[in-house]
Amino acid sequence: MVQSFAVTDVFQLVSDTRGHANHSQLTLLLRNCIQIPKQLGEVAAFGGSNVEPSVQSCMEKVGSIECTCTGTSV
């Protein structure tokens, strides 16, 4: 049986008590998430192992030094 989880569950691992994550926290989350595809030799399919452009894009999109997660299920 596959258990579903919400992106917010994973985001909460690095966010603060307000549900916000700063640049460092989001970088940590994305670097950890990319480890499985990296070990399987599939990291290129996910845009490579450099998470910095994704983190920068998120921070620019929210117009803040922190970002929040809205609760998307996976």
Give Cβ neighbours of residue 49 (< 8 Å, ≥ 6 apart): 34, 38, 43
pTM: 0.69
Cα distances from 31 to residues 3, 23, 25, 63, 71, in angstroms, run 23, 12, 10, 22, 20
CATH architecture of 7-68: Orthogonal Bundle (1.10)
Q: Per-domain residue ranges for the chain?
A: 7-68
Q: What is the pLDDT of residue 3?
A: 64
pLDDT tens digit sequence for 4-31: 666 677 778 888 888 888 888 888 888 8
Q: What is the pLDDT of residue 72?
A: 43
- Crossing angle of helices 23-33/52-62, nearest 10°? 140
Instruction: Please list the alpha-helical segments (H only) found in the chain.
Output: 7-11, 23-33, 35-39, 52-62
Length of the chain: 74
